Chain A
Amino acid sequence: MNINATLIGESIAFFVFVFFTMKYVWPQLNGAIEARQKQIAEGLAASEQAEKDLELAKKEATKKLKEAKAEAAAIIEQAKKREALILEEAVDKARAESDKVLALGQAELEAERNRAREDLRKQVSILAVAGAEKIIARSIDAKAQADILDQLVEEL
């Protein structure tokens, strides 16, 4: 337990080790640690930024999607309206066409009927005259009764 020269040896060793650590150990290790800390901090900040960006992009995407949906709905609405319009137009047109055809047919029918009636009337008058002629030929002169017959024909 006596103090001796070992003390000096240990003191020298102490200073040598401290010097070596100060020169060749501490700066490198501490530098590496600090550099890595910086790197990690930067990485964390970057990831945070990326997360924020992602959030923003998601919001943007949702907004875009909503807009697109609204637009699509509007287009569909418009198309439906247009469809109804076209349908109505077509129906109107068809109805008008059919009316026209119907009217034409009726007119034609009317004309035909008139003609037939005219023909019939003529035939009847001729028949009547013929009949009357035959009756009168037996009794009276045809020429004397001609004006009455004409009158008759007019009246038919």
Chain B
Amino acid sequence: MAANGDTLTSQSYIQHHLTNAKACFTDEGLSFNYACSDAGFWTWHIDTLAWSIILGLVFILSFRSVAKKASTGVPGKFQCAVEMIVEFVGKSVKDTYHGDSKLIAPLALTIFMWVFLLNCMDWIPVDWVGTLSSLIAGESWQTIESGQSHVYHKIVPTTDLNMTFGLSFGVFALMIFYGIKIKGVGGFLKELYAHPFNTPWLYWFNLILETIALIAKPVSLALRLFGNLYAAELIFILIATIGLYQLPVHFVWAAFHLLVIPLQAFIFMMLTIVYLSMMSEDH
């Protein structure tokens, strides 16, 4: 893994930036990174977990602090901002979801804010946190520069498939829960096989079609978010390899993400509402 030549250096540099910090339990107890290559499924991406939970806490604690003091009086600036978001999410839910549920709106708010904050990590220059972690761990500057550091730290949780699939599986579970709760087990299953062709000899075809359609929902939800943010992060890393010119280019790409980051959060939220409203309506 020695760095011999420019190509290898930038290749390992990129590779390094796209690798999560892993943790797992082996025979020797808690182990990290390379030691986890055999751990298989029971590996934990500690950077993804830590950042997502920290940002989730940032979201709920800041909103909770406003909610605790929420009054009908003249709101402060932060309260105004929070209320704007709440109202925006509430309106989106009201326009799309016509059922009566106390869960959908808070769910949509959580998804929107959480995904937004997770995506925001994309704005932090790619080398800052990783390099800092390596320095704290005692790696030499040269090792870090060549992408050979043994400390991995990927700070954008939504560039980790586990994060996006974690979210979309949560949504998927809620979809099935709502489908069964509102239509009953029979009604839910009937929608799988008796639709769109309501003739017994085509039930097998319907079942294949509808099952794929059902599964495609959480998968597309997760892959869309992951794809957008992974690509964005990859390009940030590529920009970081081009030397001094990265400054203006990085600025342009970061400015473009003023659009992408909230948009992806909004799309994830909106599609969640749409899927859940589809599940709550009888055809």
**A residues with CB within 8 A of B:** 1-11, 13-15, 17-18, 20-22, 24-26, 28-33, 35-36, 39
Q: Closest Cβ of chain A: how far from B21's Cβ, in Å? A: 11
A7 CA / B161 CA spacing, docked (Å): 8
CB-CB under 8 A from B52, the residues of chain A are 10, 13
Q: Mark B55-68, 1 if CB is under 8 A from A, else 0.
A: 01001100110111
Given contacts A6-B49, A10-B49, A32-B71, contact A21 B110 (CB under 8 A): yes
Q: Mark B32-67, 1 if CB is under 8 A from A, else 0.
A: 000000011111110011001100100110011011
B123 in contact (CB, < 8 A) = no
A39 CA / B73 CA spacing, docked (Å): 9
CB <8 Å contact, A30 and B105: yes
CB <8 Å contact, B53 and A33: no
A22 CA / B107 CA spacing, docked (Å): 7
- Which of B166-174, B184-192, B241-249, B257-265 has 4 or more CB atoms under 8 Å from chain A? B166-174
Count contacts on B: residues with CB < 8 A to the other chain.
48
B163 in contact (CB, < 8 A) = yes
Contact of A4 among B60, B75, B162 (CB under 8 A): B162
CB <8 Å contact, B45 and A6: yes
Contact of B161 among A1, A11, A20 (CB under 8 A): A1
Q: Closest Cβ of chain A: how far from B187's Cβ, in Å? A: 25
CB-CB under 8 A from A24, the residues of chain B are 60, 64, 67
CB <8 Å contact, B56 and A3: no
